[in-house]
Structure 1
Amino acid sequence: MSATIIQPAAPRLQRSQLAVPASNVTFIEKASKARADVIFLDLEDAVAPSEKVAARRNAIVALNDLDWGQKTVQVRVNGLDTEYMYRDVVEVVEACPRLDMLLLPKIGVTADVYAVDMLVTQIELAKKRSKRIGFEILIETSLGMSNVEAIAASSKRIEAMSFGVGDYAASTRARTTIIGGSSPDYGMLVGQGDPADRQFHPGDLWHYAQSRMLVACRAYGLRPIDGPFGDYSDPLSYENAARRAAALGYEGKWAIHPSQIELANSVFSPRPEEIFAAKRILNTMSEAERAGRGAVSLDGRLIDIASIKMAENLIGKATQLGLAY
């Protein structure tokens, strides 16, 4: 372990993160009753320019008047390159003590984070707020990805990062028009000779970007969250994308439609058999420690200190969810 100790962000459940356009009051009311861990009221991409000011007012009313229960509630403000962002931050943060986090889009450099942090800090001081607003950073441009490690370390307010695959694809000029999912052109052709004997093995177009952002998050104690999957009529592919992200170490995924919420909650919750296996590892290593051994075999596989850490991670998540084990 390095002598440099990074304190993790405040723990929050973030298996499912429901995007809700703040221009639609009906959608907002339904979202307050949804089973998503996180709700974000969107003032940015889902709102037309002519509706920006009204959407901001809707978000303020909803945050103050609706019962959000134990959900984490965010507002996605407009980008720093727009005329709307500063009013989004000032009006929403000043008027809404229930607000938990701001979702900051298209962050490219550390100065972007500093600008919003300074503004929020001044509002909290002026309002004498004891509750500290957290940030979730959207990494969705090539500039942001090239600076992702520095951005992750740029503010103590940052709790999480999301991978915004749609804008990232546009920024990198990837040859696709879909949001998330696979590309039929991205893969490897194997074998030789007769075309009938050759097979195409599809690859994950987003693996590098997801992995790089994940490492930056874990290095600086943040929650990595996978972003949107545009085809909400294809739940199987959504679930597959969520499972790939979970296997890498992501803690949750966006839901752009209510039908995706339960899929995300399920994928990012430990399964009973995983909890059972983790408990066996901890029990076996506890017995080994009492016997003075640092590594033992379980079911024909080596388990050691690293095995304990992996098992503890899983048990920690199960405990956070209140699952019996």
Structure 2
Amino acid sequence: MTLLVRRSELALPACNDHMFAKALSCGADLVFLDLEDATPESLKESAREKAITALAEMDWGRTVPAIRINGLDTKWCHDDIIEVVTRAREKLHTIVVPKACTARDVWWVDLLLTQLEDKLGLTRRIRLEVLIEEVEGLANAEEIAVASDRIDAIIFGVGDFSLSQGARVDTNFEPLGDYPGDFWHYARNKTLVAARIAGVLAIDAPYPDYGNVEGYERDAHRASLLGYTGKWAIHPAQVPIANRVYSPTAAEIALAQRNIAAYREAEANGRGAVGVDGVLVDAAHIKMAQATLARAAAIDPDLLRGDTVSAGR
């Protein structure tokens, strides 16, 4: 799996340029200027201009600059891609593709980007993140995830998926009644499996109730247990929570280091497994430990030295 760091992805309405500076300073791993759902139809073109200006002129620091284009079935999508790429050029890193239903949807964006990059002489390929937020998209998630080598992440988009499925949920996309377990477990898990097949990141859905920080953390933690590597944020206050939840803890890092050390010692003595604190550790455990340490190093090498302060960045 890729070692890209996308613990927090902050959604920012592209029409609200007064929010840009704060969003770019909150420590999100990626911020996307949303030309789609967060921008009303009457402001689509002016929002595109604001996004281009922000990409070209603002200091993004370590935050990955991205846009979410309008749906492929809309009259704005074509110009979103051509105008932003032509004018922002390599200042744009990632395009978020909404409502992908088939692999051909991704193929179309990939082909258009290839033509633009060749025409403009760009030296870096623009990356893609793809939203699974329709029932057809979920059914085709595995094919979508492998449709382009530009894809860095697959995202579960619970909002539109709720509508597509016909689910009876509230504005936080939680069931309007008693339901055992995680209401979205099947969709979350299938999206995650598709991402893992492609070897890309899996990003969990937004949590609209931004005032409920405990709920956001609970949602993020549950998704992280499944294997999700990050979560959308719709408010800067959610960003440090996602950064912390999707970073390995000091205890996880210490256990990984301890297991590797014990296994290497056993290996040197001709054994293929060892007991650590009464628990068997074999080659499979070492692969898990190595993955934990690699992720920690990708986030911040200081984490491996016991400095966990930057995990909340």
TM-score (norm 1): 0.91
Aligned to 1:16: 8
Distance 2:58 2:223 in 1: 32
Distance 1:292 1:174 in 2: 56
Q: Is there any run of 5+ residues in structure 2 with no aligned partner, and where?
A: 306-313
Distance 2:248 2:55 in 1: 31
Aligned to 1:76: 68
Q: Which of the numbers 19, 35, 51 marks the counterpart of 1:43?
A: 35
Is the aligned partner of 1:142 residue 2:142? Answer: no
Cα RMSD, aligned residues only: 1.1
Aligned to 2:58: 66
- The alignment-based identity, stated in percent, is 45
Q: How many residues align?
A: 302
Q: Which amino acid aligns with 1:176?
A: V
| 3-state SS of 1:176 partner | coil
Is the aligned partner of 1:312 residue 2:275? Answer: no
TM-score (norm 2): 0.94
Distance 1:180 1:163 in 2: 13
Aligned to 1:192: none
Q: Which of the numbers 179, 182, 191 marks the counterpart of 1:213?
A: 191
Distance 2:115 2:104 in 1: 17
Aligned to 2:160: 167
| 3-state SS of 2:91 partner | coil
Q: Is there any run of 5+ residues in structure 1 with no aligned partner, and where?
A: 1-7, 188-202
More helix, by proportion: 2
Aligned to 1:106: 99
Distance 1:154 1:320 in 2: 26
Distance 2:175 2:290 in 1: 33
Distance 1:186 1:217 in 2: 27
Q: Which of the numbers 105, 109, 120 marks the counterpart of 1:127?
A: 120
Is the aligned partner of 1:324 residue 2:304? Answer: yes
Deviation of residue 73 (structure 1)? 1.1
- Determine if contact 2:12/2:23 at 8 Å carries over to the other structure: yes
Deviation of residue 298 (structure 1)? 1.1
Q: Which of the numbers 75, 89, 92 marks the counterpart of 2:81?
A: 89
Deviation of residue 292 (structure 1)? 1.5
Distance 2:201 2:56 in 1: 27
Is the aligned partner of 1:288 residue 2:266? Answer: yes
Is the aligned partner of 1:244 residue 2:233? Answer: no
| 3-state SS of 1:136 partner | strand
Distance 1:172 1:91 in 2: 34
Distance 1:273 1:171 in 2: 40
Give matches, 1:264-279, under 5 Å.
264-279=242-257
| 3-state SS of 1:41 partner | strand
Which is higher, the Rg of structure 1 or of structure 2? 1
Q: Which amino acid aligns with 2:164?
A: S
Distance 1:81 1:231, change over 3 A: same
